[in-house]
Amino acid sequence: MSNHRKSRKDKKTSDVASLARLLPHVWAYRRRLYLSIFFACLVALFWGLNLALAFPVIKVFFQGQSITSYVEEGIVKSEEVQQRSQLDIGRLDKHLKEIDQSGDPNSERVRLLKDRARKQSKMSEATRNAWLFHLAKTHVLPRLPKDQFNFFAFVLGVLLITTILKGICSYAQDVLVGGVVELTVMRIRKECFRKIVSLDYQSIRLEGTPGLMSRFTYDMNLLVYGLRLVGGKAVREPLKAIVCLAGAFWISWQLTLLSMLFAPLAAFFFMKIGKKLKQATHRVMESMSRVYKTLEETFDGIKVLIAFNGGLQHRSRFHRDNKSYFYKAMKIIKIDAL
């Protein structure tokens, strides 16, 4: 049991050390990273705006209600809630004074104070909604088309513009991240090559040409994929989630908090998937190294292979290595699809 814990601790230490070695190479291009994060924020902003534009379309065409009537109705309802809440608060205050004079139990006083706080919160929310509706009526509605068809065309035009801007920002972010990734990998490849040519002959032979070739080709491609994922979707998608959560909190913070109770379960699930993906990636790299080894042995001994008719044996070995690589690569694809 202690050995298992020790091995897990060593793996975590190795992961941190690998990340620490990678950061200086990425940090050299931090300006591009900052710019890519800025474009990712714009993508999230336009994405949230596209979601918000669905609301007026639903109101106008699916519920048959114009935006003007919706705003007017919102003002009336908010003011009614304000008046009712104000009356309820006055009634509760009067009741609290009676309790203070009569010396009733504290439990009744606590209950009334809770009711008063609830009514006060409801009135504050209604006041905020009324202010927003009045703001929309004064500054937004006069600038919108009155006809429903023209309003729908206006919304579609805004949606088209925001979608184009979102695509441009997403393209700019991907280009910036791709440039940082390629420059980082080029820097790492050059440093690895410099380290290898400074090693002695025995150390190089111990790793072998196939292993080194696999490190410089397949492993580097995996590093490129991982860095693009981290710099692209891993930055953009959480920002989208933040915008979505902000909108959800604005609509109903109670329901949003209730739904976030499942967040730890989702985090645990994704953590398990990440560990399995990492293990599968290591196995795939080992399989690719064996494929390179088979190719090297075949090409180096091609004269002997032709002379003794050993093509069938080498084809069988190459087939087994490729099958092994295929099955392990499919594990990565299945995990990634989750």
pLDDT given at position 165: 93
Whole-number Å distance between alpha carbons of 200 and 211:
16
Dihedral over Cα of 9, 13, 16, 18: its sign: negative
Q: Which of 44, 51, 54 is nearest to 165 (CA)?
A: 44
What is the tens place of the pLDDT at every residue in 295-304?
777 777 777 6
What is the tens place of the pLDDT at every residue in 120-139?
888 888 888 888 888 888 88
| Under 8 Å between Cβ of 186 and 179 | no
Q: Identify the band that residue 74 occupies on the pLDDT scale cut at 50, 70 and 90.
A: confident
Terminal-residue alpha carbon distance, the chain: 31
Whether the pLDDT of residue 15 is over 60: the answer is no
pLDDT given at position 261: 76
pLDDT over 70 percentage in the chain: 86
Burial class (CB in 10 A: 0-12, 13-18, 19+), 271: exposed
What is the tens place of the pLDDT at every residue in 230-287?
788 778 888 888 888 888 787 777 777 777 777 777 777 777 777 777 777 777 777 7
Count of Cβ atoms closer than 10 Å to residue 291 Cβ? 18
CA distance readout (Å), 51 to 151, 155, 307: 17, 12, 69
Question: E strands of 127-172, at which residues?
Answer: none
Q: Which of 157, 164, 156 is nearest to 42 (CA)?
A: 164
Q: Which residue has the higher pLDDT, 336 or 299?
A: 299
pLDDT given at position 35: 92
Q: Which residues are CB-contacts of 262 (< 8 A; sequence separation ≥ 6)?
A: none
Q: How confident is the model over 27-38, as a mean pLDDT?
A: 88
Q: Which two tokens stand for residue 158?
A: 């805004």
